[in-house]
Chain A
Amino acid sequence: MANAAPTPSGTRPEARPETRSWHDIVRETLKANDVRLVTYVPDNVLKGLIASVHADPFFTAFACTREEEALGIVAGAWMGGMRGILLMQTSGFATLANVLASLPVAFQIPTLMMISERGTLGEFNIGQALVCRTMRPVLTSLAVEHHTLTRLDELEFTVDRSIKQAMATRAPVALILSPLLTGGKVFKA
């Protein structure tokens, strides 16, 4: 996976035209970091990523009934030696404060989370717009490292380094997929 090779330490990623889609970059970077388990509660923006991890036998991917459940599975798998990531949308993240505090944060389990951001930049559902405001305050108050992914040319670097830091420091990390990167979900009147 030449494209997903980690950037040599201390250097910025070389600026080059990125021809891959955001979800191809994410999938390849997960693979390069041996993240084999993908649990998710589906979302329209995540559709391409979910389809591509299902299509690749490297990954064990399945839908869960709740984000809490999906997080517990990823935590257990990591302790058993298998790296995993939980995919969800903003409103799903809002159900996680208690289990984040009491499981990955308290037990120092590097739980990787990828959240497709709803509620901003063209949201049409007031509930999504309101719950979105709780996401970064919850992450900040639990001191969970988080990055908002807006640019295709920075994506591989940010995802790769975030996974490596989470594993090295045994801490959860949240990667927020901005509509600036994915196009988001738009209102079709």
Chain B
Amino acid sequence: MRQLPWVSLGIILAMVFVAVFAPVLTAHSPINQTLSDKLIPPFWEDGGTTKYILGTDIFGRDVLTRMFYGARVSLIVTALALLVGGGIGLLIGIVSGYVGGRLDSVLMRFVDAAIAFPAILFALLLAVTMGQGLRTLIIAISVLLWAGFARVVRGEVLALKQRDFVALAKVHGCSPARIMATHILPNVLNTFMVLVTLHVGIVIVAEASLSFLGAGIPPPTPSWGLMVAEGRGKIASAWWLSLIPGIAITLVVLAFNLFGDWLRDRLDPKLRQL
């Protein structure tokens, strides 16, 4: 058995920690501008100061502070999107797999269609028609997620419903809804948890990409993707604005992916193909 990935776990816990305790950890505001202190480099560069450890942006806002609050945005979006998108996928996967027949083939057609169509386009469309914001972002990312969840869960359910305990429940006169809720659902939760962890990285990148494209959480709320986008034009003179948040995204996604791989090997090695 592979060892628990301590480094990954450490990165994940650090992210959660700074997100939760952001107001305690820093004296600066993530939004208020201090124009006299604009574009100060990180403390180890010439002209840097330990007052702003990772430097300041074009409005004189502390980069580190915005990173802390940005971690908050990332985690909230990720948790909600996985809950909604993953939840819908779980539900559809169970119903489709258990009920079978025509309903199953219709639902799976929708799954195929959703997977064949790039969800980013839908997300951008939503941002323009509904306006930017948390709600739009959650819907957009859920659309990206549900189909993959539904497909895997359905496959699992197809195997489960052949098992004796399901047949026994039927003989006992359990209704299909009851069987799905009390016998099928608990048995696919392991797979669901693994899917959730494996998708955290995807959601974080999706949120950052949408923010980068001007379709995520609107400014001035800090988001890592938005910070990369805002710093892009200043890459020649103020590298830290874009590069530091990007390093954070990469590290966190890497950590979640490695942790997800570990969890999968531990709970549900069948899913290795994913």
Q: Specify whether A and B are partners.
A: no
